[in-house]
Amino acid sequence: MKVGAFFGVGAGPGPAGLVPVAALEALRRAEVIYLPRARSSECSVARQCLGGLDIPVSKLREIEFEMDPDRAVLRAHYGALARDIAAELLAGCDVAYLTIGDPMTFSTYGYTLAALRECLPAAEIRTFPGVTSFAAAAAALGWPLGEGKERMLVLPCPDDADSLRRDIESHDVVVLMKIGARLPWVIALLNELGIAAHCALAARIGLPGEVLCADLSELDGRPQTGYLSTMLIRRQERERRHT
């Protein structure tokens, strides 16, 4: 019996249609499409990013993903998910795993992929690169991520201001992800450093409740704008390179 193929696909993040043509063909070929959903959400954000792409709803299978700090709980969760996917593949079905952004950048897909490779080593697997949240944010804001020999750091938001201060002082551009409830003190730090006016934030790009702010000195730091948000921090004001 033919074993199905497994596809990793990024959709979005946010605006519908940000899916490579080859990945879209894989989604249409797949008989089952897994979509991760945060426990606190009523529906998967990745599902919203499929708007207008003509993917039958009958293919979609939402799965609640674990963010438990207990590594044993996480291993059990992704092990069980990999076994479910392997069962579909062994039954001859092509399966896709859909996530927002790029599947290999701060994504639950990486855990799923590792577990599946261990569970079914012979599986045919193809991962399609997607659009990262920071690439989408930079495009939406017209904010170049790196110019010339600028040094850029991409990281999840630290838990304390001193760590973030050191990161900013040692890089030209810092891309800050997974900000959440830390947003108020992050903005306070940028104002303290005197750089908030040339730093930007994008949240829920292309989705209801979208926030696009090109000057963080104007942002009041409401906690809700930290969800699904990406911050673009520039240590010094952008150099003017034209006459």
- Residues for the chain: how many in total? 243
| Mean per-residue pLDDT, 163-192 | 95
Alpha-carbon span 34 to 224, nearest angstrom? 27
Residue 112 in tokens = 């799923």
| 136 touches 205 (CB < 8 A) | yes
Which runs of E-coded beta strand occur in 157-226?
173-177, 200-203, 211-213
Q: Is the peptide bond before 13 cis (omega within 30 degrees of 0)?
A: yes
How many Cα atoms within 13 Å fall on the side-chain side of residue 67? 8
Predicted pLDDT of residue 68? 62
Q: Confidence band (pLDDT; 50, 70, 90) for 226?
A: low
Count of CB atoms situated within 10 Å of the CB of 195: 18
| Mean per-residue pLDDT, 50-69 | 81
Predicted pLDDT of residue 6? 98
| Mean per-residue pLDDT, 209-222 | 82
Alpha-carbon span 231 to 176, nearest angstrom? 5
Alpha-carbon span 193 to 235, nearest angstrom? 9
- Domain locations along the chain: 5-127, 133-234
Alpha-carbon span 150 to 148, nearest angstrom? 6
pTM: 0.87
| 26 touches 128 (CB < 8 A) | yes
DSSP 70: -
Predicted pLDDT of residue 227? 65
pLDDT in tens, 131-169: 999 999 999 999 999 888 999 999 999 999 999 999 999
Q: Which fold has domain 133-234?
A: 3.30.950
Alpha-carbon span 203 to 90, nearest angstrom? 39
Predicted pLDDT of residue 198? 93
- Strands 95-100 and 32-38: what pairing? parallel
CATH architecture under which domain 5-127 falls: 3-Layer(aba) Sandwich (3.40)
Task: Evaluate whether 5-127 and 133-234 have a shared fold.
Answer: no
